[in-house]
């Protein structure tokens, strides 16, 4: 379960609070919609819940534990513009393998064609690329890798 207790966030130290004193609990598989006008904090709330942004107040826990920084995060976001969420120089196969190779059942369920694996992100439609991002976010655990300079 994802739980937020009394969280608050604002971008500038003296700026307006986008949300303050917010409590939220989401069970696995639960789907929640956040309607509202542009610029009112919906994406910021999602980024805060996923650990991309740190709340100024309160705490966020996943299954009773604080979110782990600099490690696999079980909370994944699907951004509105998938082309901005992937490396444009990587082929689809490498994008998927970045987290962990999804099962063939998941690829079939998402109608992801095997022929896409050797294509680049710009060679897919927006909807096709969004399905790739969904498959990547749905893997249970990423592969670990190291970078050598």
The rounded distance, in Å, linking the Cα atoms of 78 and 58 is 24
**Position 74 in a domain:** no
Q: Which residues contact 98 (CB under 8 A, 6 or more apart)?
A: 90, 136, 142, 143
* pLDDT of res. 26: 92
Whether residues 49 and 86 share a domain: the answer is no
Can you give the pLDDT of all 149 residues of the chain as single tens digits? 899 999 999 999 888 999 999 999 999 888 888 888 988 899 999 999 988 899 999 999 988 888 776 666 677 778 788 888 889 999 999 988 887 788 999 999 999 999 999 999 999 999 999 999 999 888 765 433 333 22
Whether 147 is covered by a domain: the verdict is no
| CB neighbour list of residue 33: distance below 8 Å, 6 or more residues apart | none
Q: How far is the C-alpha of 45 from the C-alpha of 31, rounded, in Å?
A: 15
Q: Are residues 61 and 117 in the same domain?
A: no
pLDDT tens per residue across span 91-122 = 999 988 887 788 999 999 999 999 999 999 99
* One domain for residues 44 and 87: no
Residue 144 lies in a domain: no
Q: Is the pTM of this model over 0.75?
A: no
> Do 32 and 57 share a domain, yes or no?
yes
Q: Are 45 and 101 members of one domain?
A: no
How many domains is the chain partitioned into structurally?
Answer: 2
Q: Which residue segment(s) compose the domain that 117 sits in?
A: 82-137
């Amino acid at each position: 379960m994802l739980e937020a207790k009394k969280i608050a966030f604002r971008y500038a130290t003296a700026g307006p609070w986008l949300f303050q004193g917010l409590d939220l609990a989401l069970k696995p598989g639960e789907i929640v919609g956040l309607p509202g006008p542009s610029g009112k904090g919906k994406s910021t709330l999602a980024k805060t819940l996923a650990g991309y942004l740190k709340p100024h107040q309160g705490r966020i826990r996943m299954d009773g534990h604080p979110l782990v920084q600099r490690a696999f995060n079980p909370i994944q976001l699907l951004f509105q513009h998938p082309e901005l969420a992937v490396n444009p120089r990587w082929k689809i196969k490498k994008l998927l393998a970045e987290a962990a190779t999804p099962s063939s059942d998941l690829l079939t369920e998402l109608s992801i064609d095997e022929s896409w694996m050797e294509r680049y992100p710009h060679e897919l439609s927006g909807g096709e690329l969004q399905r790739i991002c969904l498959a990547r976010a749905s893997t249970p655990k990423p592969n670990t890798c190291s970078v050598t300079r």
